[in-house]
Amino acid sequence: MKKLIQIVFPVSAVLCGLALLSSCKSDPLSPGLEYMPDMYRGPAYETYGESPFNENGSAMKPVARTIPRFNAETLPFHETYPFPNTNEGYELAGVQVKNPYPVSPEFLEKGKKIYNNFCVHCHGEKGDGNGILVQRDKYAGVPSYYGASIKDLPEGKMYHTIYYGKNMMGSHAAQINFAERWEVIEYVKKLRNDGLGISSDSSAAKTDTTAAAAATASITK
Amino acid sequence: MQRISAKILLGVAVFLAVIFQANTLQAQDAAKLFKANCASCHKPTDQKLIGPGLKGIRSRWPDEAKLIAWIKNSTEFLKTGDAYANKLFEEYGRSVMPAQNLSDAEIIALIDWTDKGGDAPASAAGDGAAKADGAGAGAGATETSSDSYLYILIIVGFVLLVLINVLNSVKSSLESLVNEKKGIITEPEPIRTPTEKFRIWASNNKKIVAVISLFLVIWVLKQGWDGLMGIGVYQGYAPEQPIKFSHKLHAGDNQIACVYCHSGVEKSKHANIPSANVCMNCHMYIQEGPQYGKEEIGKIYAALDYNPETRTYGPNQKPIQWIRVHSLPDHAYFNHSQHVAVGKIECTSCHGPIDSMEVVQQHSPLTMGWCIDCHRKTEVDKDNKYYEELHKQFVNDPKYKKGDKFTIGSLGGLECSKCHY
C-alpha cells in the first residue's frame, strides 16, 4: 500500500504540472513571434496600409493626376457616364444608353455568374424578387422583373440603376465593371422574358424599343 | 329576463368576435399589400427610407381624400399645387412615388395598418434577436468547455492528493497507536526537511524517477521544437476587429457570395476588403442587426458620417481600420486572381469554413511548405489552350515517365523566382 501511494503521489503531481503548463496555449488575439520583422514588412506602403500622405491616413488613394489603367477594349466606355443621378437622367438613360456588346450564349453565361454573385440574394434565382434576404425578412419590397412596375424597363434604365442604385438598391458600380454590367443586364432580360413567357430574343428587343419610344414621348412632352 | 340578457351578451360577443376577425383579416391583407407595393420605399414605423416612415400618417394628412389621391397618382397630385405634397417631394430628394393601382378600400386598409406602426416587423426582429442570442450562448459554451474541463481535472487531482495525504497520516497515527498498545515502542522518526525526504524517496525509487525525467525531457524538447516551428506562422490568429462583422451571418445564413464584397478576387492580386459603400448597399435598409442591434451597424454610419434619419453623408469620413488576418511576408508574392480565376481554387480550400466563423481566423498555416505541397499535388487542366504547348514539352521531356502527373510543379511552379522576386 505504501509503495502504491509512493508511486501515485509523484506521478499525479507531475501530470498536474504538465496540464497546467500546456494550458498556456497561444493567444488567438496575437499573431505570434517573427524571426526578422524587417524581412517580413517592407518599407513600401501596402494596399490597405496606413500612409501619412492622405488626410484620412489611408494609403489607398492614388496621388493626384494618376491615370487610371483600364483594358484597352473598355477604355472608351470608362470615360464618364454622362447621365446625372436625377429623375431626368434616368429617363434620358432609358432612351440613349444601349448595350454595345453582341449577345451570345457565352455572354449570357457570364451574366448568369455575375447575377448569382451580385443580385440573387435579393432578386431571387428567377428574378421574382424573392431572394434569400427577402425570404428571411431582412429586406422587403424587391420588385419582380416581370411584375407590373418594371416589366417594360428599357436596358438603359437598368444600366442607370446598377450605376447609381435606385430606391433601396445601392450603387453596384464599384463592384462590377462596364462589361459585367451589360452581361448581367442581358441575363436579367432573359429572366424577365422567361417570367413573362416570351422565348424569342427579337420580341425582347421589341419591348425595349417600344418602352424607349414611350420614354422619348414622355420627355418630349 | 336573465335569458334575454344572456342572449344579448352572446350577440354582442359574436358581433365583437366578427369585428375582430374582420379587423385581423384586414391587417393581414394590409401587411401583404404593404410588402408588395410600399415596402421598397417605406417602413410602417418611424424609420425613414426613400420616403417617410408611415407611422402616424393620419395626423400628417388631415384630409384623407387628398392622401388617397396622392397615393393613387403622386405626379398628378403635385400639379394641384398642394403645399404639403410639394414640401414632401422636395424633402425626399425629388424622388417620384410611382402611381399605385389600388382601390380606395385597399388604401384605407393600408393607412389604418401603417398609422399604428404596422405589426410584423417588431415580432420578426424579436424572433431574430432570440435566435441570435441562442446561437451566441451556444458558441460561448463550446468555446469555454475545453478550458473548464482542464480546470475541473486539476481541481479533482488536487482534492485526490489532499485525500491521499490525510488518509496517509491517519493510517500512520493509527499504526503508532496499535504499536503503543502492543507495547512496542517505535523510535520517533527523525525530523527531515521536504527536500531531504524527496532525496531519500528518489534514491529508493530510481526507476520511477528515470521514467518521469525521460517524459519530462521529451515533453520539453517537443514544446521547444513546436515553439520554434511556430515562429512566423499565424495559423489560428483571430484578432478582434473594429466592427464585430460576422461571416457566419453574412456568408453562411444569408448566403451572400464571397465575391459580392471581395469583388477584386477574380481580377486582382488582392481579394479586396470591401469599402463601406458596399456595406451600405444593404445597410441603408437594414439598420439593426440580429445580434448587436444598432451598435455595430452604427459604426459603419460613424465611419461614413452618415445620418440614417436624413439619409445624407457628412464630410467627416474616416476609413474603418480592419485588422489584417492573413499576411504573407513581403518577400513572397501571392496573387488571388491567378489562383481563383485561372486555378479555379475555391475560397474555402485555403480560408477554411469562413461561412461558419463568427470571428475570422487564419485557417491555413500559409508557410512555404504548405504552398509547395499544393503546387506539387495539384494537377493542371490540360485542355486549357494556354497549357497545351507546355503539356507537349512536358510529355516530350526525356525525364518523363509514363504516369507522371502534369502538376503546377511541372510547369515551373516550384521555381524560387515564381514567388520570390
pLDDT in tens, B175-229: 888 888 887 766 666 777 888 888 888 888 889 999 999 999 999 999 899 888 8
- For chain B, what are the domain ranges? 14-121, 147-185, 196-231, 247-375, 376-421
**Count: domains in chain A:** 1
- Whether the per-residue pLDDT at A171 is higher than 80: the answer is yes
Mean pLDDT throughout A35-45? Answer: 80
User: Does a structural domain hold residue A109?
Assistant: yes
Q: Cα distance from A122 to chain B (closest Cα, Å)?
A: 10
Q: Please give the pLDDT value at position B374.
A: 93
Q: Find which of A175, A177, A184, A221 to mutate to test the B interface (most B CBs within 10 Å of its CB).
A: A175
Task: Tell me whether B370 touches chain A (CB under 8 Å).
Answer: no
d(CA B371, CA A46): 22
Chain A environment of B95 (Cβ under 8 Å): 87, 167
Mean pLDDT throughout B369-398? Answer: 86
User: Does a structural domain hold residue A10?
Assistant: no
Instruction: Decide if B317 and A56 are in contact by the 8 Å CB cutoff.
Output: yes
Q: Which residue of A has its CA nearest to B154?
A: A16
- Whether the per-residue pLDDT at B96 is higher than 60: the answer is yes
Q: Cα distance from B22 to chain A (closest Cα, Å)?
A: 25
- Whether the per-residue pLDDT at A177 is higher than 80: the answer is yes
Is residue A129 left, alpha or beta, with left meaning phi > 0 and alpha meaning psi from -120 to 50? Answer: left
Q: How many CB atoms lie within 10 A of CB B131?
A: 13
Contact A215, A95 (CB under 8 A): yes
Q: Find which of A14, A15, A16, A178 to mutate to test the B interface (most B CBs within 10 Å of its CB).
A: A16
| Residue in B38, B273, B319 nearest the CB of A141 | B38
d(CA B288, CA B300): 12
- Whether the per-residue pLDDT at A87 is higher than 60: the answer is yes
**DSSP class of A153:** -
What share of chain B has pLDDT > 90, as a percent?
30
Q: Please give the pLDDT value at position B133.
A: 42
User: Does a structural domain hold residue A18?
Assistant: no
User: Does a structural domain hold residue A39?
Assistant: no
User: Does a structural domain hold residue A158?
Assistant: yes
Chain B environment of A138 (Cβ under 8 Å): 254, 282, 286
Q: Which residue has the higher pLDDT, B37 or B173?
A: B173
Q: Please give the pLDDT value at position B141.
A: 41
**Distance (Å) of CA B36 to CA A146, B286, B336:** 14, 18, 41
Instruction: Decide if B150 and A23 are in contact by the 8 Å CB cutoff.
Output: yes
Task: Name the pLDDT band for A121 (thresholds 50, 70, 90).
Answer: very high
Q: Please give the pLDDT value at position A211.
A: 47
Q: Please give the pLDDT value at position B18.
A: 52
Selected residues 14-43 of chain B with any CB under 8 Å from a CB in chain A: 35-41
Q: Please give the pLDDT value at position A203.
A: 44
Q: Which residues of B209-243 are buried (b: 16+ CB within 10 A; e: fewer)?
A: eeebeeeeeeeeeeeeeeeeeeebbbbbbbbeeeb
Q: Which residue has the higher pLDDT, B268 or B35?
A: B268
Mean pLDDT throughout B61-90? Answer: 80
User: Does a structural domain hold residue A46?
Assistant: no
Could you tell me which of A110, A102, A99 has the C-alpha nearest to residue A162?
A99
Chain A environment of B205 (Cβ under 8 Å): 6-7
Mean pLDDT throughout A102-130? Answer: 93
Q: Cα distance from B402 to chain A (closest Cα, Å)?
A: 37
Chain A environment of B329 (Cβ under 8 Å): 39-41
User: Does a structural domain hold residue A3?
Assistant: no
| Residue in B50, B236, B255 nearest the CB of A167 | B50
Contact B358, B243 (CB under 8 A): no
User: Does a structural domain hold residue A132?
Assistant: yes
Mean pLDDT throughout A180-194? Answer: 93
pLDDT by residue (tens digit) across B120-143? 544 444 444 444 444 444 444 444
Task: Round the average pLDDT of chain A to a whole number and report it.
Answer: 77
Chain B environment of A12 (Cβ under 8 Å): 157, 160-161
**Helix and strand element counts for chain A (H, E):** 10, 0
Range with the poorest average pLDDT among B31-35, B100-104, B126-130, B302-306:
B126-130
Task: Round the average pLDDT of chain B to a whole number and report it.
Answer: 82
Size of interface A-B (CB pairs under 8 A): 158
Q: Which residue of A has its CA nearest to B264?
A: A175
Mean pLDDT throughout B280-307? Answer: 91
Mean pLDDT throughout B69-78? Answer: 80
Task: Name the pLDDT band for A219 (thresholds 50, 70, 90).
Answer: very low
Task: Tell me whether B237 touches chain A (CB under 8 Å).
Answer: yes
Q: Cα distance from A148 to chain B (closest Cα, Å)?
A: 10
Mean pLDDT throughout A35-51? Answer: 81
Q: Which residue of B has its CA nearest to A22?
A: B223
Decide: residue B389, CB within 10 A, 0-12 exposed, 13-18 middle, 19+ buried: exposed
**Distance (Å) of CA B18 to CA B27, B112, B136, B263:** 14, 18, 43, 55
Task: Tell me whether B150 touches chain A (CB under 8 Å).
Answer: yes
Q: Which residue has the higher pLDDT, B249 or A174?
A: B249
pLDDT by residue (tens digit) across B281-291? 999 888 888 88
pLDDT by residue (tens digit) across A122-157? 999 999 888 999 888 888 888 889 888 888 899 999
Q: Which residue has the higher pLDDT, A184 or B311?
A: A184
Task: Tell me whether B230 touches chain A (CB under 8 Å).
Answer: yes
State the CATH number of the domain containing residue A143: 1.10.760.10
C-alpha cell of B162? 489532499
A130-139, B20-29, B103-112, B118-127: which is most confident: A130-139
Q: Please give the pLDDT value at position A209.
A: 47
CATH of domain B14-121: 1.10.760.10
C-alpha cell of B338? 491567378
